[in-house]
């Protein structure tokens, strides 16, 4: 039985967050370098394609993010789509740490942004626009370089948890009637 719709003004934060968790997304690490050379990286699942012509993507970053000034100051950013083998990196970059970069395999992209080794895909972007998004800032990037490792499966975020396509499929199969 499906619950009756509740006007958003009446929905509490927990209900809204739980309902948003029904939508499975990929997991990324967004990286940037400020003009003074400060590196930033953060786990984000709020990434989406905006346009193919011109090639635009967007990512939403929380206003409370300690490294938000780096993303604001940077002219470019990179979106690293994590593979299912990179759960540890998703956790590292999802938490505030003094040095998230220690021991992390990176190469520097065309703009100097750190690119995460072993990612399923990478988008290098020039900042196209930034918008107010409530408790987030929305960064739109014009993609100038993209790379996909087709053999790697993506890491997924669903229901407030990291998961994989294989785990999701197994759950679906277990839910089928005999």
Radius of gyration of the chain (CA): 17
The dihedral region occupied by 37, where left means phi > 0, alpha psi between -120 and 50, and beta the remainder, is: left
What one-character DSSP code corresponds to residue 57?
A: E
Q: Are 165 and 151 in contact (CB under 8 A)?
A: no
CATH topology of domain 25-175: Pnp Oxidase; Chain A (2.30.110)
Q: What is the pLDDT of residues 115-159, one digit of tens each?
A: 999 999 999 999 999 999 999 999 999 999 999 987 888 888 777
Residue boundaries of the structural domains of the chain: 25-175
* Measured distance CA(67)–CA(96) in Å, rounded: 9
What percent of the chain clears pLDDT 70, i.e. is strictly above it? 81
The dihedral region occupied by 16, where left means phi > 0, alpha psi between -120 and 50, and beta the remainder, is: alpha
How many CB atoms are closer than 10 A to CB 19?
A: 13
pTM (2 d.p.): 0.82
């Amino acid at each position: 039985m499906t619950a009756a719709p509740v006007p958003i003004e009446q929905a509490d934060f927990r209900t809204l967050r739980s309902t948003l968790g029904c939508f499975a997304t990929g997991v990324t690490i967004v990286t940037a370098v400020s003009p003074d050379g400060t590196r930033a990286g953060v786990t984000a699942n709020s990434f989406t394609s905006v346009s193919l012509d011109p090639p635009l993507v967007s990512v939403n970053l929380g206003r409370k993010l300690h490294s938000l000034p780096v993303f604001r100051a940077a002219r470019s950013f990179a979106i690293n789509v994590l593979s299912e083998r990179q759960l540890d990196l998703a956790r590292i970059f999802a938490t505030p740490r003094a040095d998230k970069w220690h021991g992390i395999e990176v190469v520097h992209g065309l703009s100097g942004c750190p690119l995460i080794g072993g990612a399923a895909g990478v988008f290098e972007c020039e900042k196209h626009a930034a918008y107010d998004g409530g408790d987030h800032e929305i960064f739109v990037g014009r993609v100038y370089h993209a790379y996909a490792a087709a053999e790697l499966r993506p890491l997924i975020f669903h229901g407030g948890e990291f998961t994989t396509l294989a785990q999701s499929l197994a759950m679906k199969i277990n839910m089928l009637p005999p």
